[in-house]
Amino acid sequence: MSELDKMTDWSKLKGMIADSELGDKSREVDEGKLLDHLGARVKGQDEILNDVAKLIRLSWKKQERQRPICSLLFLGPTGTGKTELAKAITEFLYGDERDMIRFDCSELSNPEMAKARLTGSASGYRDSETGGQLTRPMFANPRRLILFDEIEKAHSLVFDLLLQLLGDGRLSEQGSGKTADFTQSIVVLTSNAIADQMSRATKGMKDYHEVVNALKTLLAESGTFRPEILGRIDKVYMFKPLEGMVVAEIALLKIAKLGKEYGLSVRFVAPELVMKALEANVKVSKFGIRELERILFDIFAPSLVEMRDKKAKSVTFEADASGRIVCKAVDA
């Protein structure tokens, strides 16, 4: 027996190799399946979806990280799919939308409240034992997506915390002193600030790097973002306004989702009913898809409730001669 054999527990080493191989498999993301999942929920942003799926696959594969898996900045007008994409990523990677931690940054504009809300109150202060709404959930489950909606509305103290989170992949909770790990998380920032100016500034540009440089320059010069924050972001994406058939496709998805919320499967929706919703949405187009959801609720929810009360499982929506909605139950 060689000296190496005497010094080595080969059965233990084989176990370590097997564990290592298993770990590699757990780090794999099927880019095609991820792209299909994102595309089923987000419409009209195909270039962004392709790049996001590729980035996540490559970043997820890393065996050692000192930062989050990736950090993304979603720019563009309201109602173009920024938040929906964050939800879709969360569902695919972590199994449930509820594994997303979401902050409305208009609620983080107060300097005293912002830091305490994210990382908890200092020891000795009221509610210090409850911890931060960002740090405490991460102790229980570090595999999450963290979404900062309309980040431009947050106080500068929040950006200070982001610098640490994005740079070191960790944040300390004020009261407990425990450190939250963000190296298994994805961080998404959204902003619809100066959307019109950004659209004009990048009009006609095809090269991604040229577009990103123009966007970052405009955001920094306008004071919307500090340059050091922009330097920590892995990818910046500009979402396009939605129009035409893309909005119609989204409307159908929203109707199906609304039906599911009432425990019903929507099998068919007459095109004229979708057009009715889209025509109503045009009048309030500046509010984007969020307003479309309200319009669809007003049009379809009453019939869904009625059919649910009748114990229906699947329904169709048609229009009579006068254009009024007709909801019918169908066999499951």
Query: Tens digit of pLDDT for each residue in 214-263?
Result: 888 888 888 888 889 888 999 999 998 877 788 888 889 999 999 999 99
Question: Where do the domains of the chain lie, and which CATH numbers do they carry?
Answer: 23-238 (3.40.50.300), 245-330 (1.10.8)
Q: What is the 3-state secondary structure (H, E, C) of 291-326?
A: HHHHHHHHHHHHHHHHHHHCCCCEEEEEECCCCCEE
Distance CA 294, CA 297 (A): 5
Backbone angles phi, psi at 51, to 5 degrees: -70, -40
If one counts every other C-beta atom within 10 angstroms of the C-beta of residue 226, the result is 16
Tens of pLDDT, residue by residue over 154-210, are: 998 999 999 999 999 999 988 788 999 999 999 999 998 877 788 787 877 777 778
Q: How many alpha carbons fall within 13 Å on the CB side of residue 13? A: 6
| Tokens of residue 149, six digits | 């909606």
| Tokens of residue 41, six digits | 């929920």
Q: Read off the pLDDT band of 40 (50, 70, 90).
A: very high
Q: Read off the pLDDT band of 286 (50, 70, 90).
A: low
**Read out DSSP for 226-273?**
-HHHHHH-SEEEEPPPP-THHHHHHHHHHHHHHHHHTT-EEEEE-HHH
Q: Closest Cα partner for 276 from 298, 260, 246, 261?
A: 298
Distance CA 306, CA 291 (A): 23
pTM over the 0.85 mark = no
Using the predicted structure, report yes or no on whether residue 2 has a pLDDT greater than 50.
no
252 and 297 in contact (C-beta within 8 Å)? no
Tens of pLDDT, residue by residue over 84-141, are: 999 999 999 999 998 999 999 999 998 878 888 898 877 656 665 677 899 999 999 9
